[in-house]
Amino acid sequence: MAKTKKVIMLGNEAIARGAFEAGVKVSAAYPGTPSTEISEYLVQYKDSLYCEWSPNEKVAAEVALGASIAGSRAMACMKHVGFNVAADPAYSISYIGVNGGLVFMVADDPGLYSSQNEQDTRMVARAAKLPVLEPSDSAEAKEYTKLAFEISEKFDRPVVLRITTRLAHSQGIVELCEPCANQDKPYVKNIGKNVMMPNNAKPRHAVIEQKNAELALAANTMDINRVEMADTSIGVITSGIPYQYVKEALPNASVLKLGMVNPLPKELICDFASKVDRLYIIEELDPVIEEQVKAWGIEAVGKELFTVLGEYSANMIKAAILGEKADFAQPAQAPGRPPILCPGCPHRSVYHTLKKLGLHAAGDIGCYTLGAVAPLSVVDTTVCMGSSISSLHGMEKAKGKDFIKNWVAVIGDSTFMHTGVNSLINMVYNNASGTVIIMDNSTTGMTGHQDHAATGKTLMGDAAYAIDIPTLCRAIGVKNVISVNAFDLELLEKTIKEEQQKDEVSVIITKTPCVLLTKGRKPFCVVDTEKCKGCGLCLKPGCPAITKQADGKVMIDDTMCTGCGLCAKLCKSGAIRLVKEG
C-alpha cells in the first residue's frame, strides 16, 4: 500500500483516519468525552462512509452489529460508561462474532476529567470475552484501528479498541495511507451464528473460547506485542499511554510493550519475565495484566507500588521505582476553579427558581449537573444517564407522594432521548405523581454541542425530523405537559408550584437554547451604580459575570455577560438594564 504523507493528528482524529483507511462503511456513536471527536472527524470522510449519532450506546452497538452481519466493516464509538449501556448487546455480539469486521471504540477516563466514574474497560471487555487492542500514540491509534478490523475478520471476534483521555486528546505524527479497496462481504444467512437462543448460544460459547485461545496463541508472535530488551536488571510489562511514561522514566529498562491486552501472550510474557531480574507491571487503573501474570506464578511488582487511582506520569514511575524525586520543573498549575454554568446559561434560571421554592432535584448527567454546586446547590443526586426520573420514582414508592412534593427530577434533552424516556414510561405505567423538568437547550451541551434525535439535524449535516419532546411525552401517557421559557421566572415558578400539587406525572419543558449556540456579538447588561443598593439579590444565581465591588455595589463584566436578563429580573431597584442588542 503506497504511503502518502505525514501529518500531526490528535489520537481521536487518527482513529477516524484509521477507520476510513480500513474501509469502514458504518459508524454509530453517542457522544461522551473523551471519545466524541472520533465521530466529528469521521464526517470528513462522508463520501466513503456513513456515520451517525445514535440516541444511546446500546443502539449504536446494535447498528454496528447490523452493518457487520450485512457484510460491511462497522464500528461503534463511546466513552467507558457508554460501554456499560452497550453491554447487553456486546456480551451477545461476542458470541455472534462478525461478518464484516466489527470494532467497539471505547475511551476510558483515568483521572476523571469528565466522567462520573473511573472504570476500566479492559475489565468489561474481558468479562465479555472480547479482544482488546491498546495504542500508545496517534500513529498506533490509526494503525491499531486498521489492525482491529483485520483481527476481527480473521478470528471472527468483535474487537475493542481501548484508549484513554491522554491519547484521545494528544497529538502525534501519523503517516497517511490510501484507504483499502472495498472490504464488503456478501450477507450469509447463518441462524446458528446470528440467532442467539440457547441451542445456538451453547455451541457458540465453545466456538468463541476456541477462537480466543487461537488468538492468545497468535498474540505471542504479533508485532504489536513487542520486546525492547535493554538492561535486564529492570523489566517492565506495560501498554497504552503508560508505555510513554515508562520510556521517559526508565530509558534503560527492558520493556515488553503489549499492543493487545486481552488475551495476553502467555509464552512471550513468561519468556520476558525469565530474562529480567525484577519485573514490574505498569498499567493505569485496574491490575488487569498483573492479576493474570501473577496467576501464572510469575513474580512481579504492580499495584503494591502503583495506585489504581487516576493517571500516571513519568515522575510518578521514577519516584516509585528509583526512589527519585521529580527532577524537572513542574508545569505551571492553574488555580483550582470549581466548575460553573456559563454566564447566561438557561439552566441557572431554572435552578434559581427551584432553590427559591426550596425544592430538591434528583439530577442527571449534563451541564445541568452543575446545579449541585454552590450557590445553586439544588441537585441532590447524580448517578448515570437517565437515572434522575427513575430515582425520583423510587423515592416516591419508598416514602410516598408527600415526600416527593419537595422534589423534582431534572434532565437534559439529550439525556432524555438517551435513556430518560424509558424512565418516564415507567413513571406513567406505575402510577407515579412526580414532576420532571426537561431542561431542553436544543443540544448535547456538556460534550460540545452535538445534535440528537430532537434537534432536527444529523451528524452528517442532513436535515432530519426533530422529535417533538412534548408530543413524545403526551404519546406515552403524560397528561400534564407544559413548555416554559427558562427565563420567564414568574411563569416558571407558577408552573412548578401548580404541577407539584398534582397527583399524577407532570413534565415541564424549559425550552431555551444553550447560550453558546447563539452566534454573533451578544447583548449585555450594565449596572446603574446610582440605583444599585448593594442588596446582592442579583448575585444569588451565581452568574460569573457579576461581581461585588469594594463599595458593596455590583459590576457586570460585559465581555462575559450574554444579556440573558436573569439578574435584571431579580433586581428590585431597577439598577440593571440591557444596553445592547446583538
Ligand X SMILES: Cc1ncc(C[n+]2csc(CCOP(=O)(O)OP(=O)(O)O)c2C)c(N)n1
Residue that is written with C-alpha cell 440457547 in the block: 198
Q: Which of 42, 215, 256, 567 binds ligand SF4 (CB under 6 A)?
A: 567
Which DSSP helix (H) or strand (E) runs through 428?
Answer: helix 421-429
Which DSSP helix (H) or strand (E) runs through 291?
Answer: helix 288-295
Q: Which of 23, 263, 265, 563 binds ligand SF4 (CB under 6 A)?
A: 563
Between 17 and 79, whose beta carbon lies closer to ligand X? 79
Binding to ligand SF4 by residue 124, rule CB under 6 A?
no
Between 383 and 555, whose beta carbon lies closer to ligand SF4? 555
Task: Tell me whether the omega of the peptide bond preceding residue 470 falls within 30 degrees of 0, making it cis.
Answer: no
Minimum distance of ligand SF4 from residue 327's CB (angstroms): 40
- Fill in the amino acid letter for 566: L
- Fill in the amino acid letter for 165: T
Name the pairing type of β-strands 546-548 and 554-556.
antiparallel
Cα distance between residue 131 and residue 225, in whole Å:
14
What is the separation of C-alpha 192 from the centre of its chain, rounded to a whole number of angstroms? 35
Between 32 and 101, whose beta carbon lies closer to ligand X? 32
Minimum distance of ligand X from residue 516's CB (angstroms): 10
Cell of 197: 437462543
Cα distance between residue 541 and residue 371, in whole Å:
10
Minimum distance of ligand SF4 from residue 135's CB (angstroms): 31
Could you tell me if 68 and 98 are in contact, meaning their C-beta atoms sit under 8 angstroms apart?
Answer: yes
Minimum distance of ligand X from residue 449's CB (angstroms): 8
The site partner of 566 among ligand X, ligand SF4, none (C-beta below 5 to 8 Å per kind) is ligand SF4
Binding to ligand SF4 by residue 565, rule CB under 6 A?
yes
Cα distance between residue 172 and residue 524, in whole Å:
41
38 to 7, 163, 349, 455: CA distances (angstroms): 17, 12, 33, 21
Q: Count residues contacting ligand SF4 (CB under 6 A)?
A: 24
The site partner of 343 among ligand X, ligand SF4, none (C-beta below 5 to 8 Å per kind) is ligand SF4
Instruction: Name residues contacting ligand SF4, limited to 373-392 (CB under 6 A).
Output: none
Minimum distance of ligand SF4 from residue 268's CB (angstroms): 47
The site partner of 28 among ligand SF4, ligand X, none (C-beta below 5 to 8 Å per kind) is none
Binding to ligand SF4 by residue 514, rule CB under 6 A?
yes
- Interface with ligand X by CB under 6 A: which residues? 30-32, 57, 79, 81-82, 85, 116, 365-368, 385, 412-415, 441, 443-447
Binding to ligand SF4 by residue 350, rule CB under 6 A?
no
Binding segment (CB under 6 A) for ligand SF4, from list 73-81, 275-283, 470-478, 538-546: 538-546
Could you tell me if 430 and 390 are in contact, meaning their C-beta atoms sit under 8 angstroms apart?
Answer: no
Minimum distance of ligand X from residue 380's CB (angstroms): 18
Cα distance between residue 56 and residue 40, in whole Å:
16
Comparing CA positions, the residue from 437, 224, 248 lying closest to residue 351 is 437
Name the pairing type of β-strands 407-412 and 360-362.
parallel
Binding to ligand SF4 by residue 545, rule CB under 6 A?
yes
Phi, psi of 29 (to 5 degrees): -155, 160
Binding to ligand SF4 by residue 571, rule CB under 6 A?
no
Binding segment (CB under 6 A) for ligand SF4, from list 52-60, 288-296, 398-406, 555-563: 555-563
Could you tell me if 39 and 156 are in contact, meaning their C-beta atoms sit under 8 angstroms apart?
Answer: no
Q: Which of 525, 532, 571, 575 binds ligand SF4 (CB under 6 A)?
A: 525
Minimum distance of ligand X from residue 547's CB (angstroms): 25
Between 72 and 562, whose beta carbon lies closer to ligand SF4? 562
Between 320 and 489, whose beta carbon lies closer to ligand SF4? 489
Q: Which of 284, 298, 562, 571 binds ligand SF4 (CB under 6 A)?
A: 562
Cell of 466: 426533530
Cα distance between residue 548 and residue 555, in whole Å:
6
Spell out the long-range contacts of 488-495 with Cβ–Cβ below 8 A and sequence spacing 24 or more: 489/349, 489/352, 489/353, 489/566, 489/569, 489/570, 492/349, 492/350, 492/353, 493/353, 493/356, 493/357
Binding segment (CB under 6 A) for ligand SF4, from list 9-17, 245-253, 256-264, 343-351: 343-351
Binding segment (CB under 6 A) for ligand SF4, from list 135-143, 168-176, 324-332, 556-564: 556-564
Task: Tell me whether the omega of the peptide bond preceding residue 263 falls within 30 degrees of 0, making it cis.
Answer: yes
Q: Which of 147, 445, 478, 481 binds ligand SF4 (CB under 6 A)?
A: 445
Instruction: Name residues contacting ligand SF4, limited to 323-342 (CB under 6 A).
Output: 341-342
Minimum distance of ligand X from residue 493's CB (angstroms): 21
Cα distance between residue 85 and residue 365, in whole Å:
14
Going through 450-572 in order, the beta strands assigned E by DSSP cover 480-484, 506-510, 524-527, 546-548, 554-556
Could you tell me if 544 and 325 are in contact, meaning their C-beta atoms sit under 8 angstroms apart?
Answer: no
The site partner of 385 among ligand X, ligand SF4, none (C-beta below 5 to 8 Å per kind) is ligand X
Minimum distance of ligand X from residue 82's CB (angstroms): 4
Minimum distance of ligand SF4 from residue 531's CB (angstroms): 15
b/e code 217-240 from CB counts within 10 Å (16+ = b): ebbeebebbeeeeeeeebbbbbbb
Between 318 and 352, whose beta carbon lies closer to ligand SF4? 352
Between 253 and 385, whose beta carbon lies closer to ligand X? 385
Between 259 and 420, whose beta carbon lies closer to ligand SF4? 420
Cell of 293: 501474570
Comparing CA positions, the residue from 234, 302, 242 lying closest to residue 272 is 234
What 3-state class would DSSP assign to 120? Answer: coil
- The 8-class DSSP code of residue 105 comes to E
Q: Which of 135, 235, 343, 363 binds ligand SF4 (CB under 6 A)?
A: 343
Could you tell me if 218 and 258 are in contact, meaning their C-beta atoms sit under 8 angstroms apart?
Answer: no
Could you tell me if 110 and 165 are in contact, meaning their C-beta atoms sit under 8 angstroms apart?
Answer: yes
The site partner of 85 among ligand SF4, ligand X, none (C-beta below 5 to 8 Å per kind) is ligand X
The site partner of 565 among ligand X, ligand SF4, none (C-beta below 5 to 8 Å per kind) is ligand SF4
Cα distance between residue 506 and residue 473, in whole Å:
9
Between 204 and 348, whose beta carbon lies closer to ligand X? 348
The site partner of 379 among ligand SF4, ligand X, none (C-beta below 5 to 8 Å per kind) is none
Residues engaged in binding ligand SF4 (CB under 6 A): 341-345, 347, 367, 441, 445, 514-516, 525, 543, 545-546, 556, 561-567
